[in-house]
Copies of this chain bind each other. A is one copy, B any other.
Amino acid sequence: MSHTYSYPRPAVTVDCVLFGFRPDAADLQVLLIERADEPHEGAAALPGGFVEVRDGGDQGEDLEAAARRELLEETGVKVDYLEQLYTFGKPGRDPRGRVITVAYIALVRSTDHAARAGSDAAGASWVSLRDARARVMAFDHREILDMAVARLRGKVRYAPLGFALLPERFTMPELRSLYETILDAPLDRGNFRNAVLRLGVLKKVGQRKGNGAGRAPDLYQFDKRAYDRATREGISFDPVPDSKGPPRVARAERKRR
């Protein structure tokens, strides 16, 4: 069956940059597909595909729904957070014809979902951000990935985004480690803790024992109500030092007292 229009139309796809976090890894995880077909056969690609469109009264699916569907089909992953990133439509970005793609950032709580190969892909797998950057990527997916990382790095400083990457219950060191991973910078234990707790969105729910040496860290989970309110009211949560910082002198000074 074919479909005819009086002017040429572009194909429209969605592509997803799916981030995950493993407490044991020193880097963010990204889910990549190995392309099974030409063009760019064998290259790494972001999961994604065509948006379902119909010409009748029912016009098809929403863009965000398309992103969720493609992620589920291609990788078997159900996302916890989804946000539109940017729309890429440069002529020539796909050699087969004009393709405009709406890119999304997706976050998942757990990378346990064994990423499995779907019908459109030779294979889907979690790759560390560092490794991902070393791969050859199809189309303009490198550019999309870079923009996604930049956005994540930027947004994490004023929105409580990182939380969507952790399991339901987590410890303060895990949360801090996550932010250090995303921002690629060391963060002060005490100050990070205070900043997070001042948000008032966390509940203490016991502690985790048996982690090896050291004091057992407290376990936290979200106060969903307070979290939603905070998100709506646009809280500011910046765990990054000001770079110019206040105490610059007077370290030895204090020791003398």
Contacts and interface: CB of A to CB of B under 8 A. Distances in A.
Interface of A: 1-12, 50-51, 53-55, 58-63, 84, 86-87, 89-92, 97-98, 100, 102
Interface centre among A7, A11, A59, A92 (most CB of B within 10 A): A59
Contacts of A58: 91
Contacts of A60: 8, 10, 91, 98
18 contacts: A2-B6, A3-B8, A3-B9, A4-B4, A5-B9, A10-B12, A12-B12, A12-B89, A12-B100, A53-B98, A55-B97, A59-B91, A62-B89, A62-B91, A84-B86, A87-B87, A100-B100, A100-B102
A10 to B, nearest CB: 5
Given A9-B10, A61-B91, 4 more contacts: A8-B55, A10-B60, A54-B98, A62-B90
A62 to B, nearest CB: 5
Contacts of A59: 91-92, 97-98
A87 B84 contact: yes
B100 A63 contact: yes
A68 to B, nearest CB: 14
Contacts of A5: 2-5, 9, 11
A237 to B, nearest CB: 14
Given A59-B92, A59-B98, A98-B60, A53 B87 contact: no
A181 to B, nearest CB: 21
Report, nearest first, the 6 A-B pairs whose CB atoms are least far apart.
Answer: A59-B91, A9-B9, A59-B98, A63-B89, A87-B87, A4-B4
Contact of A8 (B8, B54, B84): B54
A58 B92 CA distance: 8
Nearest to A11: B9
A156 B89 CA distance: 27
A200 to B, nearest CB: 15
A89 B4 contact: no
A4 B2 contact: yes
A134 B80 CA distance: 37
Interface centre among A6, A8, A100 (most CB of B within 10 A): A8
